[in-house]
Amino acid sequence: MEQAWIPMKDGVRLAATLYMPDGAKPGEKFPALLEYLPYRKDDGTAAGDYPKHAYFARRGYVSVRVDIRGFGASEGVPPEREYSEQEQIDGEQVIAWLAQQPWSNENVGMFGISWGGFTSLQMAMRHAPGLKAILAVDATAELFHDDVHYIDGIAHIDEFELNMDMAEGWVGAPNYSLDEKVLGPRFDSPPWSLLYLKHQHEGPFWRDRVRPLSEITTPSFLIGGLLDGYRDNVPDMLMKSKAPIKAIVGPWNHTFPNDAVPGPQVEWRDQAVRWFDYWLKGRDTGVRQDPRLVIYMQHWHPPDPNLQNVPGEWRREDVWPPQSARDTPFFLQGNHTLTGYAAVQATHQLKYVPTIGVEARFWWGELLSDPRPVDAFSLVYDSAPLENEVAILGRPHALLQASATAPLANWFARLSDVAPDGTVTQITGAGLNGAQRESTSEPRDLEPGKVYPLDIQMHLTSWVFPKGHRIRVAISNALWPMMLPTPYAMTTSLELGGRSGSRLVLPIVPVHGAAAPEFSPPQPSEERTDIKNEGFPWPGEWTAERDEARQKTTVHWKGKDGYEYPWGTENDFENLTYEGDDAHPETCSVRGEAESVFALKGRTLVWRGHLLVTTDQKNFYYKYTRELLKDGEMFKSKTWQETIPRDHQ
């Protein structure tokens, strides 16, 4: 492991750790693999970085971990937002620097999960010279629709805001300098969550950071999870990108496949080496003959937040959408059934209850408990018991004819499997901001009482419904606290009847597809012995409290993790409290507290962040305070407070 400074044209230096191959011969050249993100390579991600980068270094790569400017050991001020133009310009310069090093064969690859996957896609969009291939895990290019600030175009607040808003104010390990020249510009950087709340619909703020997927020509290896919020990027890339693509989608959450829970766990690093060996070393590893997509077909299982392995089988698909897929409509009937024939004219009404949805958790895809408490406040439609197994693969649609008595409403469609004993397992779903029914960039009020055609495209899934089970679709106007509620009391309606009436469309495929090549089981990982990480057991701990007399609901969430370093310890704590009021949907709140305690030699530093977002019918009220304590005494504090008009949210 070698530490290096990578100079930027404006004089700022980015900090890099280079994992160099042992025993290199004189004059031997290696490709570089870059992981580029802000999560503090010398402390925050150090334990997790080593097993990946050491693996690649031992297979003939200089594997490189770089902090973006203003984070960790890198110099400079944090950019004004995620995925800034500055971050991308710096990324291009990092790639150029790596390609020009004396050990380099001039070929650079990028890889990473989440933020590291986002930057890989964005560098491919910019056609960064020297970048020859990428591997993006759990990443997306849809910054407004898919990222964690506006899920499905609807306002969302979770622990990521707490983490990043506080992390902007940190300084790098192991010195954690409190020199004002280093600390001041970081600590005083405005919280990103404030900026995002000012951009409540699609537009240049979100769109200018990315190019169309059709412009990506860099060979792209994509890994996604059917329980991950960013999974739709995989089919989008398969359909739109002109690049050579290899994709794997398993039944995983936001994690690498070799340590995924739920499993089955598989090795991915060997697949990465085959990919990069072909594109960066010119070795014919056979990757061009690999299936374009290998995806896990999930079989039925009861709802279980602690499920260790999802039953199912791998299958290959060389074309997307699958050639065997048949879009099959199921019409919503007046007796709340689903059938293959058009319904008789009818209208179903639903009273808006803003605090329903707790059982659907914090983003689409997590392992859930039984969602029947949400179904109880939804319009629910069930098929007859299936006479044969039915398999789906793709993105189901809920095509609704809907109206509301208020100028703003959201609609949510959830697809579930109902077992003969009544047990319900949620499979997928999605939401639609009614104001964005025609355009995510130009939202418009609803005309109360007017019927609108709505297309709710659910998130990517696979599923085999067993014989005797029922297919269920449930429609609601809230899914809280995943999405912040709309501010008007109202009743919404679904119109049934005719071939264009409200219906569910499922991408039905044969139960068994073409067999996929077998994956290797997870290989043992090298671990650093000088750093220990207690881990972050997602989804943390959460409870819901309902005050029936006052019609108020409160959800508490908390999480923690800890690290041991040669220079001390770090312990992180986060909690969120969501409050909603069924009698007053205009009033809701999210309160978050984050604290990171660094016990160092001779001193203790504590960074804290306090977030409060409240609403009324017209505005969001935002307050954020960042604090730094040294040995128990307040060392630095700054508060941001603004009133932000609601813009169709």
DSSP string covering 216-280: --S-EEEEEETTSTTTTHHHHHHHH--S-EEEEEES--SS-GGG-SSB-----HHHHHHHHHHHH
pLDDT at 278: 98
Mean pLDDT over residues 213-217, rounded? 96
Secondary structure of 322-385 in the HEC alphabet? CCCCEEEEEEECCCCEEECCCEEEEEEEEECCCCCCHHHCCCCCCCCCCCHHHHCCCEEEEECC
Calculate mean pLDDT across residues 535-543.
Answer: 77
CA distance 259 to 338: 39
* Per-residue b or e along 324-340, where b marks 16 or more CB atoms closer than 10 Å to that residue's CB: ebeeebbbbbeeeebbe
- Residue 332: pLDDT over 70: yes
The pairing of strands 568-581 and 588-600 is antiparallel
Residue 410 clears pLDDT 80, i.e. is over it: yes
**Is the distance from CB of 498 to CB of 350 less than 8 angstroms?**
no
Residues 106-160 have pLDDT tens digits of 999 999 999 999 999 999 999 999 999 999 999 999 999 999 999 999 999 998 8
DSSP structure class, residue 625: E
Which pairs count as long-range contacts for 529-532, CB under 8 Å and 24+ apart, including other chains?
Answer: 530/565, 530/566, 531/46, 531/47, 531/563, 531/564, 531/565, 531/566, 532/47, 532/563, 532/564
pLDDT of 539 strictly over 80:
no
The mean pLDDT value for 214-228 works out to 97
> Which amino acid is located at 110 in the chain?
M
Q: What percent of the chain stands above pLDDT 70?
A: 99
- pLDDT of 69 reads 97
Contact 393, 462 (CB under 8 A): yes
> In the numeric block, which tokens belong to residue 468?
């005797």
3-state SS, residue 614: strand
pLDDT tens digits, 252-300 = 999 999 999 999 999 999 999 999 999 999 999 999 999 999 999 999 9
- Average of pLDDT values for 561-565? 94
Cα distance between residue 162 and residue 160, in whole Å? 5
pLDDT of amino acid 115? 96
* CA–CA dist 323, 625 (Å, integer): 53
The pLDDT of residue 641 is above 80: yes
Q: Are strands 150-151 and 131-137 parallel, antiparallel or unpaired?
A: unpaired
Helix/strand/coil for 181: helix
Conformational region of residue 318, where left means phi above 0, alpha means psi within -120 to 50, and beta covers everything else:
alpha
**pLDDT computed for residue 361 by the predictor:** 84
- Kindly state the average pLDDT of the residues 425-450: 97
The span from the CA of 78 to the CA of 94, in Å, is 17
Mean pLDDT score, 14-39: 95
- What is the overall mean pLDDT for the chain? 96
What is the rounded distance in angstroms from the CA atom of residue 33 to the CA atom of residue 352? 51
Residue 535 is encoded by which pair of tokens? 């881990």
Report which residue type is found at 347: T
Question: What average pLDDT does the segment 578-588 reach?
Answer: 97
Confidence class of residue 538 from pLDDT cuts 50, 70 and 90?
Answer: low
Average of pLDDT values for 444-457?
98
Average pLDDT over residues 15-44: 95
Least confident of 5-19, 386-400, 501-515, 528-542: 528-542
Q: How far apart are CA 396 and CA 65, in angstroms?
A: 39
Report whether pLDDT(25) > 70: yes
Pairwise CA distance, residues 6 & 513, whole Å = 48
Q: Residue 592 has what pLDDT?
A: 96
Confidence band for 537, pLDDT divided at 50, 70 and 90: low
Task: Give the chain's length.
Answer: 649
